[in-house]
């Protein structure tokens, strides 16, 4: 993680990552850094239900719908067409 990304994490997770975000960034580059932190809380090669995804996201931000959608749109996670299963995207899948 470079210095700029670390600065974003320090600003967004004002009281530390475990305490959640103080705000959700608007800038795409900052969102990507924050989403990377959130995605790191999921295990590779594991499938998750929407409810399980939401529970993890709620630890960081109450608007789990936006974060879940962004994890998908920024290609950190993929899902089935019906949204019943989610999983982390491996680097080679991107």
pLDDT tens per residue across span 32-67? 999 999 999 999 999 999 999 999 999 999 999 999
Cα Rg for the chain, rounded, in angstroms? 13
Where does residue 49 fall: left (phi above 0), alpha (psi -120 to 50 degrees), or beta otherwise? beta
Tokens of 89: 């995207």
10: which 2 tokens?
A: 């320090």
pLDDT digits (tens, 9 = 90+) for 4-33: 999 999 999 999 999 999 999 999 999 999
pTM score: 0.91
């Amino acid at each position: 993680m470079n210095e700029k990304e670390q600065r974003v994490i320090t600003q967004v997770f004002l009281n530390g990552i475990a305490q959640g975000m103080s705000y959700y960034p608007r800038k795409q580059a900052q969102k990507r850094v924050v989403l990377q932190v959130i995605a790191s809380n999921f295990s590779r090669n594991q499938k998750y239900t929407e409810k399980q995804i939401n529970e993890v996201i709620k630890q960081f931000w109450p608007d789990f719908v936006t974060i879940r959608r962004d994890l998908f749109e920024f290609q950190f996670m993929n899902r089935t067409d019906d949204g019943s299963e989610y999983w982390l995207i491996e680097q080679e899948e991107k």
